């Protein structure tokens, strides 16, 4: 068992398991709590990742403000959020930099990076470089949504990542083999959250919100 207060990535990834209901709705509370865990993990990797975690924090905070706000009851799940924000009209939605839909869209795109990165870690060789896995996952996902300067800064920060085995170690789920097993269990839940969100946003033409 992990020591009291110790941070284990298992609990974080478990949050994504709790997101999807029987009716295939994605609940925001565990979704955001999963994100908080990922952010804490990122912060533990050092100050080089500060500009990334800062942006993620800002986005999760926007979502928490919606949930605490007067219309909070509409922010129970991604489905209820989309329905509510669309009901106010597409023009209103597209013009709002702090809408739930555009904010979740950014997190959603980052979730594809996470999925690819974790899969790369899981299937990588002992001596694979985490920075290469991370860069490849980034180029195949988030990079196409980022301007040059962000891509440059992100790619530079990735160079600070430890080797694969050291990385699996800091995930704090036991020896590397155990961490790999945990990833095998966790990835399908993240894929499912990603897939449902992608379908929902595509159905309502929300995948390109500015």
Q: At CA 8, angle to CA 4 and CA 10, rounded to 5?
A: 130
- 26 DSSP β-pair partners: 20
Count Cα atoms within 13 angstroms, Cβ side, for 135: 14
194 forms part of the interface with ligand 1PX (CB under 6 A): no
State whether residue 204 is helix, strand or coil: coil
Q: How far is the CB of 174 from ligand 1PX (least distance, A)?
A: 14
Q: Which is nearer to ligand 1PX, 25 or 163 (CB)?
A: 163
Q: Which is nearer to ligand 1PX, 22 or 210 (CB)?
A: 210
Per DSSP, the chain holds a count of helices (H) and strands (E) of 10, 0
206 forms part of the interface with ligand 1PX (CB under 6 A): no
Quick note: the x/- pattern for ligand 1PX over 124-163, rule CB under 6 A, is: ----------x---x---x---x---x---x------x--
In the chain, what's the furthest Cα-to-Cα distance? 52
Q: Please name which of 73, 95, 71 lies closest in space to residue 29, comparing C-alpha atoms.
A: 73
**Binding residues for ligand 1PX, per CB under 6 A?**
9, 38, 41-42, 49, 51-52, 55-56, 106, 109-110, 113, 118, 134, 138, 142, 146, 150, 154, 161, 171
């Amino acid at each position: 068992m992990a020591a009291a207060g110790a941070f284990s990535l298992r609990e974080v990834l478990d949050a994504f398991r709790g997101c999807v209901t029987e009716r295939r709705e994605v609940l925001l509370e565990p979704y955001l709590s999963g994100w908080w865990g990922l952010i804490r993990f990122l912060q533990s990797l050092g100050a080089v990742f500060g500009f990334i975690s800062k942006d993620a924090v800002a986005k999760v905070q926007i979502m928490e403000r919606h949930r605490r706000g007067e219309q909070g009851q509409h922010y129970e799940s991604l489905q209820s959020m989309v329905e509510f924000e669309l009901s106010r009209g597409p023009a209103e939605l597209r013009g709002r930099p702090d809408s739930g839909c555009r904010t979740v869209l950014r997190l959603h795109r980052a979730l594809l990076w996470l999925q690819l990165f974790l899969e790369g870690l899981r299937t990588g060789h002992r001596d694979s470089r985490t920075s290469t896995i991370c860069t490849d996952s980034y180029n195949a996902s988030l990079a196409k949504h980022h301007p040059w300067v962000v891509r440059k800064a992100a790619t530079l920060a990735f160079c600070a990542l430890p080797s694969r085995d050291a990385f699996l170690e800091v995930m704090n789920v036991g020896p590397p083999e155990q961490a790999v097993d945990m990833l095998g269990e966790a990835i399908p839940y993240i894929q499912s959250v990603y897939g449902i969100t992608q379908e929902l946003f595509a159905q309502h033409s929300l995948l390109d919100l500015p």
